[in-house]
Amino acid sequence: MYSTRRHFMLRSGAFAMGFAGLRTAFARENLTPDAMRRTGPAGYGPLVPDPLKIFDLPKGFGYQVISKAGDVMDDGLFVPGKHDGMAAFPDPAGPAMRCVIVRNHEVEYAHDTVGAFGPSHELLGKVDPAKVFDRGGGVLVSRGGTTTLVYDTGGGRGKGRLEGHWLSLAGTERNCAGGPTPRNTWITCEESVAKRGATPKRKGVAAPGSYEQDHGWCFEVPASTTPGLVTPQPIKPMGRFYHEACATDPRTGIVYMSEDRDDGLLYRYVPVNKDALLEGGRLQALAVVGKDSLDTRNWGERTVSPGERLACRWIDIEGVESPDDSLRTQGFERGAAKMARVEGMWMGKNAVYFTATNGGTGKHGQIWCYTPAPNEGTPGESERPGTLELFIEPNDRTVIKNPDNLTVAPWGDLIVCEDDCVDCDEAQHLLGVTRAGEVYVIGRVRLNRSELAGCTFSPDGTTLFVNIQSGPGLTLAIWGPWREGYTRGKGSGWRFIP
Protein backbone atom coordinates (compact mmCIF):
# COMPACT_ATOMS: atom_id res chain seq x y z
CA MET A 1 0.00 0.00 0.00
CA TYR A 2 1.18 3.54 -0.59
CA SER A 3 1.67 4.80 2.93
CA THR A 4 3.95 7.71 2.09
CA ARG A 5 2.02 9.26 -0.78
CA ARG A 6 -0.55 11.86 0.27
CA HIS A 7 -3.39 13.45 -1.60
CA PHE A 8 -4.19 17.10 -1.25
CA MET A 9 -7.35 19.06 -1.76
CA LEU A 10 -7.78 22.72 -0.97
CA ARG A 11 -10.69 23.41 1.32
CA SER A 12 -12.71 25.57 -1.01
CA GLY A 13 -15.76 25.46 -3.19
CA ALA A 14 -13.68 25.12 -6.31
CA PHE A 15 -14.36 21.46 -6.99
CA ALA A 16 -16.70 22.11 -9.91
CA MET A 17 -14.59 24.87 -11.46
CA GLY A 18 -12.62 24.41 -14.68
CA PHE A 19 -8.83 24.56 -14.79
CA ALA A 20 -8.74 27.95 -16.47
CA GLY A 21 -11.22 29.45 -14.02
CA LEU A 22 -9.25 28.81 -10.85
CA ARG A 23 -8.30 32.25 -9.56
CA THR A 24 -8.79 32.21 -5.82
CA ALA A 25 -8.65 28.53 -4.94
CA PHE A 26 -4.87 28.47 -4.73
CA ALA A 27 -4.17 31.63 -2.76
CA ARG A 28 -1.96 29.82 -0.27
CA GLU A 29 1.73 29.71 -1.07
CA ASN A 30 2.19 26.34 0.63
CA LEU A 31 -0.29 23.73 1.76
CA THR A 32 -0.78 23.22 5.48
CA PRO A 33 -0.69 19.71 6.98
CA ASP A 34 -4.45 19.61 7.56
CA ALA A 35 -5.00 20.31 3.88
CA MET A 36 -3.24 17.07 3.01
CA ARG A 37 -5.21 13.83 2.70
CA ARG A 38 -4.24 10.21 2.22
CA THR A 39 -7.54 9.32 0.61
CA GLY A 40 -10.16 11.29 -1.25
CA PRO A 41 -13.04 11.07 -3.69
CA ALA A 42 -10.80 11.64 -6.70
CA GLY A 43 -8.61 8.59 -6.36
CA TYR A 44 -9.14 4.91 -7.05
CA GLY A 45 -8.01 3.63 -3.68
CA PRO A 46 -4.77 2.10 -2.37
CA LEU A 47 -2.23 0.63 -4.75
CA VAL A 48 -2.00 -3.15 -4.86
CA PRO A 49 1.57 -4.53 -5.04
CA ASP A 50 2.23 -5.98 -8.49
CA PRO A 51 3.23 -9.67 -8.22
CA LEU A 52 5.41 -9.16 -11.32
CA LYS A 53 7.09 -6.20 -9.59
CA ILE A 54 6.75 -3.88 -12.57
CA PHE A 55 3.90 -1.43 -11.89
CA ASP A 56 1.50 -1.13 -8.97
CA LEU A 57 -2.11 -0.12 -9.67
CA PRO A 58 -5.35 0.16 -7.65
CA LYS A 59 -7.73 -2.77 -7.34
CA GLY A 60 -9.68 -3.34 -10.56
CA PHE A 61 -6.85 -2.07 -12.81
CA GLY A 62 -4.43 -4.05 -14.91
CA TYR A 63 -1.66 -3.56 -17.43
CA GLN A 64 0.06 -5.25 -20.33
CA VAL A 65 3.67 -4.70 -21.45
CA ILE A 66 3.23 -4.08 -25.16
CA SER A 67 6.77 -3.08 -26.14
CA LYS A 68 10.25 -3.48 -24.67
CA ALA A 69 13.59 -1.94 -25.62
CA GLY A 70 15.57 -4.48 -27.62
CA ASP A 71 12.56 -6.29 -29.07
CA VAL A 72 12.81 -7.00 -32.79
CA MET A 73 10.23 -5.00 -34.74
CA ASP A 74 8.44 -5.87 -37.98
CA ASP A 75 11.12 -4.07 -40.03
CA GLY A 76 13.87 -6.23 -38.52
CA LEU A 77 15.24 -3.36 -36.41
CA PHE A 78 15.37 -3.16 -32.63
CA VAL A 79 13.02 -1.17 -30.41
CA PRO A 80 15.31 1.69 -29.27
CA GLY A 81 15.67 2.49 -25.58
CA LYS A 82 14.73 5.58 -23.57
CA HIS A 83 10.99 5.54 -24.39
CA ASP A 84 9.62 9.06 -23.93
CA GLY A 85 6.76 11.25 -25.18
CA MET A 86 4.03 9.77 -27.37
CA ALA A 87 0.44 10.11 -28.51
CA ALA A 88 -2.24 7.67 -29.68
CA PHE A 89 -4.28 8.43 -32.81
CA PRO A 90 -7.38 6.81 -34.31
CA ASP A 91 -6.95 4.54 -37.28
CA PRO A 92 -9.26 6.22 -39.82
CA ALA A 93 -9.52 3.06 -41.90
CA GLY A 94 -9.85 0.59 -39.05
CA PRO A 95 -12.18 -0.28 -36.18
CA ALA A 96 -12.72 2.21 -33.36
CA MET A 97 -10.66 0.12 -30.98
CA ARG A 98 -7.53 0.23 -33.15
CA CYS A 99 -5.09 3.09 -32.64
CA VAL A 100 -1.74 4.24 -33.95
CA ILE A 101 0.86 5.23 -31.36
CA VAL A 102 3.85 7.36 -32.30
CA ARG A 103 6.55 7.17 -29.63
CA ASN A 104 9.75 9.13 -29.05
CA HIS A 105 13.14 7.78 -28.00
CA GLU A 106 15.34 10.12 -25.99
CA VAL A 107 18.61 8.49 -27.04
CA GLU A 108 21.91 10.30 -27.52
CA TYR A 109 25.46 8.99 -27.89
CA ALA A 110 26.19 9.28 -24.15
CA HIS A 111 23.33 6.91 -23.28
CA ASP A 112 24.28 3.29 -22.76
CA THR A 113 21.13 1.83 -24.29
CA VAL A 114 20.04 -0.06 -27.38
CA GLY A 115 19.52 1.72 -30.70
CA ALA A 116 17.40 0.63 -33.63
CA PHE A 117 20.40 -0.45 -35.73
CA GLY A 118 22.22 -2.50 -33.11
CA PRO A 119 25.34 -1.88 -30.98
CA SER A 120 27.64 -1.25 -33.95
CA HIS A 121 24.98 0.04 -36.36
CA GLU A 122 25.22 -3.32 -38.13
CA LEU A 123 21.61 -3.00 -39.35
CA LEU A 124 22.03 0.48 -40.82
CA GLY A 125 22.26 -1.01 -44.32
CA LYS A 126 18.64 -2.17 -44.05
CA VAL A 127 17.32 1.38 -44.54
CA ASP A 128 17.54 4.00 -47.26
CA PRO A 129 20.39 6.44 -46.38
CA ALA A 130 18.12 9.35 -47.41
CA LYS A 131 15.74 8.40 -44.58
CA VAL A 132 18.39 8.84 -41.84
CA PHE A 133 18.79 12.48 -40.78
CA ASP A 134 22.30 12.21 -39.31
CA ARG A 135 24.39 9.18 -40.22
CA GLY A 136 27.54 10.55 -38.59
CA GLY A 137 29.71 9.01 -41.28
CA GLY A 138 28.18 5.63 -40.50
CA VAL A 139 29.91 5.47 -37.11
CA LEU A 140 28.05 8.12 -35.11
CA VAL A 141 24.48 7.56 -36.27
CA SER A 142 22.05 9.58 -34.17
CA ARG A 143 19.97 6.95 -32.36
CA GLY A 144 16.90 8.97 -31.38
CA GLY A 145 13.81 9.21 -33.53
CA THR A 146 10.35 7.66 -33.32
CA THR A 147 8.73 4.27 -33.52
CA THR A 148 5.13 3.61 -34.56
CA LEU A 149 2.92 0.97 -32.97
CA VAL A 150 -0.49 -0.27 -34.09
CA TYR A 151 -2.54 -1.49 -31.14
CA ASP A 152 -6.07 -2.81 -30.81
CA THR A 153 -7.40 -2.03 -27.33
CA GLY A 154 -10.07 -4.73 -27.51
CA GLY A 155 -12.22 -2.32 -25.55
CA GLY A 156 -9.86 -2.50 -22.56
CA ARG A 157 -10.27 -5.14 -19.84
CA GLY A 158 -6.98 -6.79 -20.81
CA LYS A 159 -8.09 -7.72 -24.31
CA GLY A 160 -5.61 -5.51 -26.18
CA ARG A 161 -3.16 -6.71 -28.79
CA LEU A 162 -0.09 -5.21 -30.47
CA GLU A 163 -0.59 -5.64 -34.21
CA GLY A 164 2.67 -4.16 -35.48
CA HIS A 165 5.57 -1.79 -34.79
CA TRP A 166 8.44 -0.25 -36.74
CA LEU A 167 10.93 2.62 -36.87
CA SER A 168 9.25 5.71 -38.35
CA LEU A 169 11.87 8.51 -37.95
CA ALA A 170 15.61 7.85 -37.92
CA GLY A 171 18.84 9.71 -37.31
CA THR A 172 17.57 12.42 -35.00
CA GLU A 173 19.02 13.20 -31.59
CA ARG A 174 17.43 12.78 -28.17
CA ASN A 175 13.77 12.94 -29.15
CA CYS A 176 12.28 13.76 -25.78
CA ALA A 177 8.66 14.79 -26.17
CA GLY A 178 6.41 16.43 -28.73
CA GLY A 179 2.71 16.69 -29.35
CA PRO A 180 -0.18 15.53 -31.55
CA THR A 181 -1.74 17.74 -34.21
CA PRO A 182 -5.30 17.84 -35.59
CA ARG A 183 -3.83 16.41 -38.83
CA ASN A 184 -3.21 13.00 -37.22
CA THR A 185 0.52 13.71 -37.09
CA TRP A 186 3.03 13.78 -34.26
CA ILE A 187 5.52 16.62 -33.91
CA THR A 188 8.65 15.16 -32.36
CA CYS A 189 11.21 17.47 -30.74
CA GLU A 190 14.97 17.15 -30.31
CA GLU A 191 16.12 17.94 -26.78
CA SER A 192 19.60 18.65 -28.04
CA VAL A 193 21.62 21.44 -29.59
CA ALA A 194 24.47 19.21 -30.77
CA LYS A 195 26.39 20.94 -33.54
CA ARG A 196 27.63 19.66 -36.84
CA GLY A 197 31.26 18.60 -36.48
CA ALA A 198 31.06 18.10 -32.73
CA THR A 199 32.38 14.87 -31.19
CA PRO A 200 30.39 13.69 -28.14
CA LYS A 201 31.68 11.48 -25.35
CA ARG A 202 30.37 8.48 -23.46
CA LYS A 203 31.82 7.88 -20.01
CA GLY A 204 34.63 10.27 -20.90
CA VAL A 205 35.60 8.47 -24.11
CA ALA A 206 35.21 10.37 -27.38
CA ALA A 207 33.02 8.98 -30.13
CA PRO A 208 34.71 7.57 -33.24
CA GLY A 209 33.11 10.25 -35.40
CA SER A 210 31.27 13.55 -35.35
CA TYR A 211 27.80 14.82 -36.17
CA GLU A 212 26.99 15.57 -39.80
CA GLN A 213 24.02 17.80 -38.95
CA ASP A 214 23.05 20.50 -36.49
CA HIS A 215 20.39 19.32 -34.05
CA GLY A 216 17.69 21.08 -32.04
CA TRP A 217 14.76 20.85 -34.45
CA CYS A 218 11.16 19.67 -34.68
CA PHE A 219 10.06 17.01 -37.17
CA GLU A 220 6.57 15.89 -38.21
CA VAL A 221 5.64 12.20 -38.38
CA PRO A 222 2.27 11.03 -39.77
CA ALA A 223 0.35 8.50 -37.67
CA SER A 224 0.30 5.91 -40.43
CA THR A 225 -0.50 2.21 -40.41
CA THR A 226 1.86 1.71 -43.35
CA PRO A 227 5.29 0.58 -42.12
CA GLY A 228 8.28 2.62 -43.18
CA LEU A 229 10.46 5.62 -42.46
CA VAL A 230 9.44 9.19 -43.18
CA THR A 231 11.89 11.49 -44.92
CA PRO A 232 13.30 13.61 -42.06
CA GLN A 233 12.66 17.31 -42.68
CA PRO A 234 13.62 19.66 -39.83
CA ILE A 235 11.07 22.45 -39.39
CA LYS A 236 13.71 25.12 -38.93
CA PRO A 237 11.34 28.12 -38.64
CA MET A 238 10.14 26.57 -35.34
CA GLY A 239 13.56 27.37 -33.89
CA ARG A 240 16.71 25.59 -32.86
CA PHE A 241 16.77 25.17 -29.10
CA TYR A 242 16.51 22.55 -26.35
CA HIS A 243 13.02 21.43 -27.33
CA GLU A 244 10.87 19.33 -25.03
CA ALA A 245 7.16 19.17 -25.88
CA CYS A 246 4.60 21.03 -27.96
CA ALA A 247 0.83 21.46 -28.20
CA THR A 248 -1.16 22.53 -31.25
CA ASP A 249 -4.33 24.59 -30.90
CA PRO A 250 -6.78 23.13 -33.46
CA ARG A 251 -8.62 26.46 -33.65
CA THR A 252 -5.64 28.53 -34.83
CA GLY A 253 -2.96 26.01 -35.78
CA ILE A 254 -0.53 27.78 -33.44
CA VAL A 255 2.05 25.43 -31.92
CA TYR A 256 3.14 26.10 -28.31
CA MET A 257 6.56 24.75 -27.35
CA SER A 258 8.47 24.13 -24.13
CA GLU A 259 12.20 24.42 -23.42
CA ASP A 260 13.79 22.11 -20.86
CA ARG A 261 16.30 24.54 -19.37
CA ASP A 262 16.53 25.96 -15.86
CA ASP A 263 16.10 29.37 -17.51
CA GLY A 264 13.94 28.30 -20.44
CA LEU A 265 11.10 30.13 -22.13
CA LEU A 266 7.64 29.27 -23.40
CA TYR A 267 7.43 29.68 -27.18
CA ARG A 268 4.77 29.68 -29.82
CA TYR A 269 5.03 29.18 -33.58
CA VAL A 270 2.43 31.03 -35.66
CA PRO A 271 2.53 29.31 -39.06
CA VAL A 272 1.57 30.99 -42.31
CA ASN A 273 -0.23 27.75 -43.21
CA LYS A 274 -1.41 25.73 -40.21
CA ASP A 275 -1.44 22.55 -42.29
CA ALA A 276 2.10 23.00 -43.67
CA LEU A 277 4.52 24.05 -40.93
CA LEU A 278 7.52 23.91 -43.27
CA GLU A 279 6.17 26.92 -45.18
CA GLY A 280 7.32 29.20 -42.37
CA GLY A 281 5.89 31.40 -39.67
CA ARG A 282 6.75 33.53 -36.65
CA LEU A 283 8.59 32.23 -33.60
CA GLN A 284 7.71 34.14 -30.43
CA ALA A 285 8.28 33.92 -26.66
CA LEU A 286 5.73 34.59 -23.91
CA ALA A 287 6.04 37.72 -21.75
CA VAL A 288 3.80 38.99 -18.96
CA VAL A 289 2.17 42.39 -19.52
CA GLY A 290 3.67 44.98 -17.17
CA LYS A 291 6.27 42.55 -15.82
CA ASP A 292 9.12 42.38 -18.31
CA SER A 293 11.59 39.50 -17.84
CA LEU A 294 9.49 38.01 -15.04
CA ASP A 295 11.15 35.09 -13.26
CA THR A 296 8.26 32.66 -12.70
CA ARG A 297 10.35 29.95 -11.03
CA ASN A 298 9.61 31.14 -7.46
CA TRP A 299 13.07 30.07 -6.36
CA GLY A 300 14.61 32.97 -4.48
CA GLU A 301 11.37 34.82 -3.92
CA ARG A 302 7.74 34.24 -4.84
CA THR A 303 6.85 36.26 -7.93
CA VAL A 304 3.70 34.37 -8.96
CA SER A 305 1.06 32.93 -6.65
CA PRO A 306 -1.12 29.92 -7.47
CA GLY A 307 -4.40 31.05 -8.97
CA GLU A 308 -3.02 34.42 -10.13
CA ARG A 309 -3.97 35.22 -13.73
CA LEU A 310 -1.42 37.19 -15.74
CA ALA A 311 -2.15 38.94 -19.03
CA CYS A 312 0.41 38.00 -21.68
CA ARG A 313 2.05 39.36 -24.78
CA TRP A 314 4.35 37.67 -27.28
CA ILE A 315 7.83 38.78 -28.31
CA ASP A 316 9.28 38.08 -31.77
CA ILE A 317 12.42 35.93 -31.77
CA GLU A 318 15.08 36.60 -34.40
CA GLY A 319 17.75 34.31 -35.79
CA VAL A 320 15.64 31.24 -35.10
CA GLU A 321 18.32 28.81 -36.32
CA SER A 322 20.51 30.02 -33.41
CA PRO A 323 23.96 28.45 -33.87
CA ASP A 324 24.90 29.28 -30.27
CA ASP A 325 21.70 28.21 -28.43
CA SER A 326 20.92 31.82 -27.53
CA LEU A 327 17.19 32.12 -28.21
CA ARG A 328 16.22 32.03 -24.54
CA THR A 329 18.83 34.68 -23.67
CA GLN A 330 17.59 36.91 -26.47
CA GLY A 331 13.97 36.47 -25.43
CA PHE A 332 14.60 37.16 -21.74
CA GLU A 333 16.56 40.30 -22.52
CA ARG A 334 13.60 41.51 -24.57
CA GLY A 335 11.15 40.87 -21.74
CA ALA A 336 10.13 37.21 -22.04
CA ALA A 337 9.27 35.31 -18.84
CA LYS A 338 11.83 32.86 -17.46
CA MET A 339 10.58 29.39 -16.44
CA ALA A 340 11.99 26.38 -14.61
CA ARG A 341 12.46 23.47 -17.00
CA VAL A 342 9.22 23.58 -18.93
CA GLU A 343 8.67 19.99 -20.05
CA GLY A 344 5.33 18.22 -20.56
CA MET A 345 2.61 20.04 -22.49
CA TRP A 346 -0.88 19.12 -23.74
CA MET A 347 -3.77 20.93 -25.38
CA GLY A 348 -7.12 20.92 -23.60
CA LYS A 349 -10.32 22.26 -25.12
CA ASN A 350 -9.56 25.91 -24.49
CA ALA A 351 -6.14 26.00 -22.85
CA VAL A 352 -2.60 24.64 -22.87
CA TYR A 353 -1.40 22.83 -19.74
CA PHE A 354 2.30 22.41 -19.06
CA THR A 355 4.73 21.49 -16.32
CA ALA A 356 7.75 23.32 -14.93
CA THR A 357 9.62 20.33 -13.58
CA ASN A 358 11.69 22.01 -10.90
CA GLY A 359 9.69 25.17 -10.35
CA GLY A 360 8.44 26.27 -6.94
CA THR A 361 10.05 27.28 -3.68
CA GLY A 362 11.01 23.66 -2.99
CA LYS A 363 11.94 22.98 -6.64
CA HIS A 364 9.48 20.08 -6.66
CA GLY A 365 7.51 21.33 -9.66
CA GLN A 366 4.68 23.48 -10.92
CA ILE A 367 1.78 22.95 -13.32
CA TRP A 368 0.72 25.93 -15.42
CA CYS A 369 -2.17 26.82 -17.71
CA TYR A 370 -2.11 29.20 -20.67
CA THR A 371 -5.46 30.31 -22.08
CA PRO A 372 -5.10 31.73 -25.62
CA ALA A 373 -6.66 35.05 -26.58
CA PRO A 374 -9.87 35.02 -28.64
CA ASN A 375 -7.79 36.52 -31.47
CA GLU A 376 -4.61 34.64 -30.65
CA GLY A 377 -1.77 35.30 -33.06
CA THR A 378 -3.40 38.31 -34.71
CA PRO A 379 -2.89 42.07 -34.20
CA GLY A 380 -6.15 42.21 -32.22
CA GLU A 381 -4.98 39.84 -29.48
CA SER A 382 -3.65 42.71 -27.33
CA GLU A 383 -7.20 43.97 -26.76
CA ARG A 384 -8.15 40.73 -24.96
CA PRO A 385 -4.80 39.02 -24.34
CA GLY A 386 -4.17 35.43 -23.46
CA THR A 387 -3.58 34.65 -19.80
CA LEU A 388 -1.04 32.62 -17.87
CA GLU A 389 -2.01 30.94 -14.60
CA LEU A 390 -0.01 28.95 -12.07
CA PHE A 391 -2.43 26.07 -11.54
CA ILE A 392 -0.69 24.21 -8.72
CA GLU A 393 2.57 24.47 -6.81
CA PRO A 394 2.30 22.12 -3.81
CA ASN A 395 5.94 22.51 -2.66
CA ASP A 396 5.71 19.08 -1.05
CA ARG A 397 7.48 16.14 -2.68
CA THR A 398 5.04 13.70 -1.03
CA VAL A 399 2.30 15.30 -3.14
CA ILE A 400 4.14 15.69 -6.42
CA LYS A 401 7.79 15.60 -7.31
CA ASN A 402 9.20 16.84 -10.59
CA PRO A 403 6.17 16.56 -12.92
CA ASP A 404 7.15 15.95 -16.54
CA ASN A 405 4.93 14.60 -19.34
CA LEU A 406 1.20 15.07 -18.93
CA THR A 407 -2.02 14.58 -20.83
CA VAL A 408 -5.68 15.53 -20.46
CA ALA A 409 -7.92 12.56 -19.63
CA PRO A 410 -11.27 12.10 -21.42
CA TRP A 411 -13.11 13.06 -18.21
CA GLY A 412 -11.09 16.27 -17.72
CA ASP A 413 -8.39 15.46 -15.15
CA LEU A 414 -4.71 15.91 -15.88
CA ILE A 415 -2.63 12.73 -15.91
CA VAL A 416 0.95 13.49 -14.89
CA CYS A 417 4.22 11.53 -15.02
CA GLU A 418 6.82 12.06 -12.34
CA ASP A 419 10.39 12.56 -13.53
CA ASP A 420 13.30 10.66 -12.04
CA CYS A 421 14.55 11.85 -8.69
CA VAL A 422 18.32 12.14 -9.06
CA ASP A 423 18.99 12.97 -5.41
CA CYS A 424 16.85 10.33 -3.73
CA ASP A 425 15.86 6.69 -3.82
CA GLU A 426 12.12 6.99 -4.36
CA ALA A 427 9.65 5.30 -6.65
CA GLN A 428 8.10 7.38 -9.42
CA HIS A 429 4.33 7.77 -9.62
CA LEU A 430 1.66 8.28 -12.24
CA LEU A 431 -0.68 10.93 -10.85
CA GLY A 432 -4.06 12.44 -11.57
CA VAL A 433 -4.97 16.08 -10.89
CA THR A 434 -8.61 17.10 -10.72
CA ARG A 435 -10.08 20.41 -11.87
CA ALA A 436 -10.10 21.43 -8.22
CA GLY A 437 -6.40 20.72 -7.86
CA GLU A 438 -6.60 17.46 -5.93
CA VAL A 439 -3.67 15.19 -6.66
CA TYR A 440 -4.21 11.43 -6.50
CA VAL A 441 -2.14 8.37 -7.30
CA ILE A 442 -2.90 6.12 -10.27
CA GLY A 443 0.22 3.96 -10.30
CA ARG A 444 3.77 3.47 -9.06
CA VAL A 445 6.88 2.02 -10.70
CA ARG A 446 8.04 -1.13 -8.88
CA LEU A 447 10.57 -2.23 -11.51
CA ASN A 448 13.18 0.43 -10.69
CA ARG A 449 13.53 4.17 -10.08
CA SER A 450 13.04 5.15 -13.72
CA GLU A 451 11.01 8.17 -14.68
CA LEU A 452 7.61 7.75 -16.31
CA ALA A 453 6.91 9.34 -19.68
CA GLY A 454 4.53 9.58 -22.60
CA CYS A 455 1.14 9.19 -20.90
CA THR A 456 -1.65 9.25 -23.47
CA PHE A 457 -5.14 7.75 -23.84
CA SER A 458 -6.39 5.58 -26.68
CA PRO A 459 -9.01 7.29 -28.87
CA ASP A 460 -11.73 4.98 -27.51
CA GLY A 461 -10.92 6.13 -23.97
CA THR A 462 -10.43 2.63 -22.56
CA THR A 463 -6.65 2.43 -22.34
CA LEU A 464 -3.92 4.64 -20.92
CA PHE A 465 -0.47 4.14 -22.40
CA VAL A 466 2.62 5.12 -20.44
CA ASN A 467 6.36 4.44 -20.62
CA ILE A 468 8.80 3.32 -17.96
CA GLN A 469 11.74 4.99 -19.61
CA SER A 470 14.72 2.92 -18.54
CA GLY A 471 15.98 -0.41 -17.29
CA PRO A 472 14.82 -1.48 -19.93
CA GLY A 473 12.37 0.86 -21.63
CA LEU A 474 8.81 -0.48 -21.45
CA THR A 475 5.49 0.70 -22.84
CA LEU A 476 2.47 -0.26 -20.75
CA ALA A 477 -1.19 -0.38 -21.75
CA ILE A 478 -3.32 0.18 -18.63
CA TRP A 479 -7.04 -0.53 -18.31
CA GLY A 480 -9.51 -0.19 -15.46
CA PRO A 481 -12.61 1.63 -14.23
CA TRP A 482 -11.72 5.03 -15.62
CA ARG A 483 -13.99 7.99 -14.90
CA GLU A 484 -17.46 8.09 -16.40
CA GLY A 485 -18.72 11.18 -18.18
CA TYR A 486 -17.51 10.44 -21.67
CA THR A 487 -18.71 8.08 -24.41
CA ARG A 488 -16.61 5.03 -25.07
CA GLY A 489 -15.83 4.24 -28.66
CA LYS A 490 -16.37 7.75 -30.00
CA GLY A 491 -13.08 9.44 -30.75
CA SER A 492 -14.33 12.80 -32.03
CA GLY A 493 -12.34 15.57 -30.38
CA TRP A 494 -10.61 13.05 -28.18
CA ARG A 495 -7.34 14.95 -27.94
CA PHE A 496 -8.91 18.25 -26.99
CA ILE A 497 -11.45 17.40 -24.30
CA PRO A 498 -11.02 19.83 -21.36
Predicted pLDDT of residue 146: 98
Q: Are 151 and 162 in contact (CB under 8 A)?
A: yes
Q: What one-character DSSP code corresponds to residue 78?
A: B
329-371 tens-digit pLDDT: 999 999 999 999 999 999 998 999 999 999 999 999 999 999 9
Would strands 83-90 and 309-316 be described as parallel, antiparallel, or unpaired?
A: unpaired
- Could you say which residues of the chain have pLDDT below 50? 1-40, 485-498
Q: State residue 495 phi and psi, 5-degree precision.
A: -80, -15
Within 10 Å of residue 325's Cβ, how many Cβ atoms? 14
Beta bridge partners of 464: 457, 478
Count how many residues are written for the chain: 498
pLDDT of 62 reads 97
In 3D space, the residue among 266, 306, 312, 272 whose CA is nearest the CA of residue 289 turns out to be 312
Q: What local confidence, expressed as pLDDT, does residue 100 receive?
A: 98
- Dihedral (Cα; 295, 298, 304, 307), 10-degree rounding: 140
Q: Please tell me the distance from the alpha carbon of residue 409 to that of residue 464, in angstroms, as a whole number.
A: 9
Q: What is the dihedral sign for C-alpha 433, 434, 436, 441?
A: negative
Q: Do β-strands 47-48 and 55-58 pair in parallel, antiparallel, or remain unpaired?
A: antiparallel
**Predicted TM-score (pTM) of this structure:** 0.91
CA distances from 136 to 29, 142, 197 (A): 49, 7, 9
The pLDDT value recorded for residue 491 is 35
What gap in Å lies between CA 444 and CA 477, rounded to an integer?
A: 14
For 242-282, what is each residue's pLDDT tens digit? 999 999 999 999 999 999 999 999 999 999 999 999 999 99
pLDDT of residue 25: 29
**What does DSSP assign to residue 224?**
-
Looking at residue 94, its pLDDT comes to 86
Q: How far apart are CA 413 and CA 184, in angstroms?
A: 23
Q: How far apart are CA 100 and CA 227, in angstroms?
A: 11
Strands (E), 73-125: 83-90, 98-105
* pLDDT given for residue 41 in this prediction: 58
Nearest CA-CA partner of 116 in 64, 175, 54: 175
Note the pLDDT of residue 403.
Answer: 97
Establish how many alpha carbons lie within 13 A of residue 163's alpha carbon, considering only the half-sphere containing its beta carbon. 18
Residue among 267, 94, 248, 240 at smallest CA distance from 164: 94
First-to-last C-alpha distance (Å) of the chain: 31
Q: Find out whether 430 and 466 touch, Cβ atoms under 8 Å.
A: yes
